[in-house]
């Protein structure tokens, strides 16, 4: 459901944005919605800013904090959630030639998502400069998952192998 909203934007930036959208054949509202969705996805796990603001005498004062430890903890939490070593153990046990069609279809859906998640985690690690020791394991996971996915995509379905 769409609803009209009122925004105050820099007119020059809005005109450039709108003309570029028109040139590309994109609706301005659709482009803004996509930007908002992307912003939400990128920042949904971030601590709220009001935790770092101090209200005193009716004035907002910004408290300067070091986010290094917080960023490191967030990176560690994302790595723990992904658990690359567990995935590597699972992928090493998979023989693509012995998978039934349902299992193969499952891995064809799961592996691209896994590769994308590991790639995003590597980018976040590089951007933060923290947790660099995990990059090698994540790269190994991406390499192994990519190899397995290529093998699965090259395979003929089992019924084709039986019938000729």
Residues 156 and 127 occupy one common structural domain = yes
Tell me whether residue 110 is in a domain.
yes
Task: Give the side-chain half-sphere CA count within 13 A for 50.
Answer: 1
Tell me whether residue 101 is in a domain.
yes
Residues 54 and 80 occupy one common structural domain = no
State residue 15's pLDDT score.
92
Residues 56 and 80 occupy one common structural domain = no
Residues 116 and 157 occupy one common structural domain = yes
Tell me whether residue 5 is in a domain.
no
**Residues 119-151 pLDDT 10s:** 988 888 887 777 778 889 999 999 999 999 999
* Domain coverage including residue 20: 11-62
* The total number of structural domains that make up the chain: 2
Tell me whether residue 1 is in a domain.
no
Residues 150 and 107 occupy one common structural domain = yes
Residues 125 and 159 occupy one common structural domain = yes
- Give yes or no for a contact between 73 and 47, defined as CB atoms under 8 angstroms apart: no
Residues 87 and 150 occupy one common structural domain = yes
**Residues 91-115 pLDDT 10s:** 999 888 888 888 888 999 999 999 9
Tell me whether residue 2 is in a domain.
no
Please name the residues in contact with 101: beta carbons below 8 A apart, sequence gap of 6 or more: 157, 158
State residue 157's pLDDT score.
59
Residue 53 reports pLDDT greater than 60: no
Q: From 36, 62, 88, give the residue that closes a domain.
A: 62
Tell me whether residue 4 is in a domain.
no
Going by the DSSP 8-state scheme, the letter that residue 44 receives in this structure is T
Residue 49 reports pLDDT greater than 70: no
Q: Report the distance separating Cα 36 and Cα 30, nearest Å.
A: 10
State residue 19's pLDDT score.
92
Tell me whether residue 27 is in a domain.
yes
- Give yes or no for a contact between 114 and 87, defined as CB atoms under 8 angstroms apart: yes
């Amino acid at each position: 459901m769409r609803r009209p909203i009122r925004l105050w934007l820099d007119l020059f930036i809005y005109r450039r944005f709108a003309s570029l959208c028109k040139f590309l054949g994109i609706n301005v509202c659709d482009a803004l919605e996509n930007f908002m969705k992307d912003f939400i996805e990128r920042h949904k796990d971030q601590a709220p800013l009001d935790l770092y603001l101090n209200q005193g005498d009716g004035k907002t004062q910004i408290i300067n904090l070091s986010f290094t430890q917080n960023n490191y903890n967030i990176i560690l939490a994302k790595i723990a959630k992904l658990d690359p070593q567990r995935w590597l153990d699972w992928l090493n046990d998979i023989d693509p030639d012995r998978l039934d069609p349902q299992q193969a279809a499952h891995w064809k859906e799961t592996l691209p998502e896994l590769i994308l998640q590991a790639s995003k985690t590597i980018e976040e690690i590089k951007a933060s400069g923290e947790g660099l020791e995990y990059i090698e394991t994540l790269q190994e996971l991406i390499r192994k998952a990519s190899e397995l996915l290529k093998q699965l995509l090259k395979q003929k379905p089992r019924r084709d192998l039986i019938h000729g």
